[in-house]
Structure 1
Amino acid sequence: MPKQLYVVFIIFLSTYGYAQQPPTQSQDSIQRVRDSIKKTQFVKNIGNGFFPFRHFNLDLRYLIKFNQYEGFRTGLGGITNDNFSETYRLNGYIVYGFRDDAFKYKIGGGFRVNKESNTWINLEYIDDLQETGSSKFLTDKRFFSFFEPRLLNINLFHRHITKSISLQHKVSNHLLSETKLAVSKITPTYNYHYVTGGTTYHNFDVSSLKLSLQWSPFSHYEIINDKVKETKDGYPKFTFQLTQAYKSVFGSDFNFSKLDFRTIHQFTHNNEDITKLTLVAGIAGGDAPLTHLYHAYPNNINKETILNRFSVAGLNSFETMYFNEFFSDKFSTLQIKHSFKPFNITERFQPQLVLISRHALGEMRSINNHREMEFNTLEQLYSEAGLEINKLIFGFGLSFAYRYGAYHLQKFEDNVAFKFTFNISL
């Protein structure tokens, strides 16, 4: 419950300060507009995961989290804002994991070389954990959630000490790019060895170059208050990312390449129903260890009964797929969500029904190179279907999913995932 209490505390804090300011008859309309803008900006910052101060914004992501390896993870982080400088920025965090008894941190900064194209050069030093098999796009907008459901059950992490330099550049309003050169020292926190060329690795170095592009051809933009603002979030959207690791560069141990792709399309129907399709694919070639390959966003705990597996459903995860059950060096997933118009029962009680269909396909080349780790592959189609009833009370709802098809399990209950959902927006 700490996260739920923390949500209530933050929302209370964000409104309490304003509620204590008594209205005065002498306040003119201009001042009321200014106060409204400030309040809107404050709530927007909270919604993006920041608590704003004069010269920096406190990053709420680092206050408290929980996972199976670190247990509770807590700390502080933040980034300077425009009041500090519109040309330079500093950011970082420090956190502590109680179960693994270890500190993790990041120190970073950047400077803007071109305001019109929003071009930044960034430097970072990170000593932290990363989920094995996860793949993130550099150009993704910051995503913040008061509650991160998958994180609660993840137990497969590798430690990485990474030094990087990156270039963010807006090619146009519709096309964003980011390029990053990184050098990492990686140590799996679990029993794993990668064998290639007659050499066995547990710890290894990786030097890589990434190029990421995010293309939103159907979004609309306008200049408002001398700043370009997105006025229509258009679909489909496309994201590409190319990764190349170079052996012997800065002591790197491996040569491998990765190509990742994602497209999101959304249809809004006349009756206000929304259908959303998300296609994600990735392929890795060369000597890529398991840390840099792919899982398929699993979110099911390896426990005996349905009630023991009761947890929180993710936003884009396979609810019936067990953690560490599948890994691939080539994979694709398709997720289809149809959200019905919320039921207008009362002004405050408007639950929403969502139907979901998910599918995954993949394969693993040279599976024998990965030692001490047992996992399956996805040569046949993995399928699950489910439904959610969201926002039943205080943002919480219920989720049900069923696993069918080629990877259907013998025991009926092993194919079922029953969880609650959490949706809140500010």
Structure 2
Amino acid sequence: MQSQTAASESTAQQDSLRRRAFITNIGNGYFPTKYFNFDLRYLIKFNQYEGFRTGLGAITNDAFSNRYRVTGYLSYGFRDAKFKYSIGGGTRIRPRSNTWINVAYTDDLQETGSSTFLTDKRFFTIFQPRLLNIDLFHRFINRTISLEHRISPHLLSEIQLARTDVLPTYSYIFYIDDTSYHDFNLSTSIVSLQWSPFSRYEYVKDKLKELKKGFPQFTLQYTQSYKNLFGGDFNFLKLDFRSVYQLEHANNALTTVTMRAGIAKGKTPLTHLYHTYPNNITKETILQRFSVAGLNSFETMYFNEFFSDRFTTLQLKHFFKPFKITERYQPQLVLITRYALGDMNHIERHQNVTFGTLDKGYTESGVEINKLLFGFGLSFAYRYGAYHLPREEDNIAFKFTFNLTL
């Protein structure tokens, strides 16, 4: 009888662990199977260039191999009627430091002026609100080799070498050295570091687990583009920085401060310069501009309104204690202020596009009431200061919010 009870308890524990692992995978955007996990990020998306986009991605898991991995995706845009895809793989050479050597080939679209950090962890949401309204993309064909390495529990690094063909989907001309470029080639190296000095970690079976996320956190990335190396057309460099701080209050309130900065020096095309994550559609009325607010975007700044070769943004959010109406229904009030400062040299190099600079400083403030119904809420933002527009309603953004994650 005791052996049967012990066996039942063991089975129940194993089932509980499997359920927990399944929920963790779903929360990270994966649907697990025996040897590989489907990547839910590619199922369905929408933007102004591709229209609806659907696809499927997958990555092998530890049951397939804890030393090797294969990853890839295939997507199709219905409006541009084109497939996009990526295929890659990696080998882990040091388990304890989670050191991987990876290679990949990608043919896809990227938003012009966007910038990401190699070391950013995967963040999955059911859909990306800001993506709905983006219309300025460039196609890129990317061949990369990279090295991931955790230098210490608190310091994560990644180095990448890439050869990229860039083909803008709009009539952009980069005029430099008496030569006009519509499409061009880049050869780049990127070094990215993420430092979390106040987080707590421990090793479990040679795998590092984060016990507590500490703040502030810092990310630094250096990009160098080389002319005449593997057919690269331009020399330029970029330096990107981000700092995130969270302060938890005793009454379950939360204050977050996010600072981002970047600078590009040299002969840098618009595709690799900076916007500051605008999220407002260029339409006549407030209701026509009604859409979904982003998580960290400028809601009153119009798409393609500003570009910079050097910029700084500061965002402050204060989350009040949720209103506990019932155990399940707890809306939350958030106060937000955002500031952006930027500028650009040699605007004349970028032809067939029209945009301004942020040298006077851009300011917006607003309020959100989140989780009113099924993760949806409402957002109101107002644009003021140096870039206040003559027509009052053009300074106002009224939108949905969406804060449900798996």
Give the TM-score of the pair, scaled to structure 2: 0.97
Matches within 5 A, 1:397-408: 397-408=377-388
> 1:265 offset after TM fit, Å?
0.5
* Structure 1 unmatched runs, 5+: 1-24
Q: Which residue of 2 aligns with 1:19?
A: none
- Structure 1, residues 253-279: CA drift from partner, whole Å, max 9, x if none? 000000000000110011111000000
Q: Measure, in 2, the Cα distance between the counterparts of 1:174 and 1:122.
A: 22
> 1:197 offset after TM fit, Å?
0.7
> 1:226 offset after TM fit, Å?
4.7
- Structure 1, residues 148-201: CA drift from partner, whole Å, max 9, x if none? 001000000000111010000000000000000000011100011001111110
2:116 to 110, 128, 136: 136
Q: Measure, in 1, the Cα distance between the counterparts of 2:404 and 2:46.
A: 19
Asked if residue 94 in structure 1 is aligned to residue 74 in structure 2, the reply is yes
Matches within 5 A, 1:26-425: 28-425=8-405
Which AA in structure 2 matches 1:39? R
Q: Measure, in 2, the Cα distance between the counterparts of 1:151 and 1:27.
A: 50
Contact 2:126 2:405 in 1 (8 A): no
> 1:32 offset after TM fit, Å?
2.0
Which AA in structure 2 matches 1:269? H
Contact 2:379 2:398 in 1 (8 A): yes
**Aligned Cα root-mean-square deviation (Å):** 1.1
Contact 2:226 2:232 in 1 (8 A): yes
Which AA in structure 2 matches 1:192? Y
Q: Measure, in 2, the Cα distance between the counterparts of 1:410 and 1:256.
A: 38
Which AA in structure 1 matches 2:321? K
* Structure 2 unmatched runs, 5+: none
> 1:27 offset after TM fit, Å?
7.8
% identical equivalent positions: 65
Give the TM-score of the pair, scaled to structure 1: 0.93
- Please state whether the residue corresponding to 1:35 is helix, strand or coil: helix
Contact 2:368 2:377 in 1 (8 A): yes
Contact 2:308 2:343 in 1 (8 A): yes
Q: Measure, in 2, the Cα distance between the counterparts of 1:72 and 1:294.
A: 26
Contact 2:96 2:207 in 1 (8 A): no
- Structure 1, residues 269-302: CA drift from partner, whole Å, max 9, x if none? 1111100000000000000000000000000011
Contact 2:154 2:196 in 1 (8 A): yes
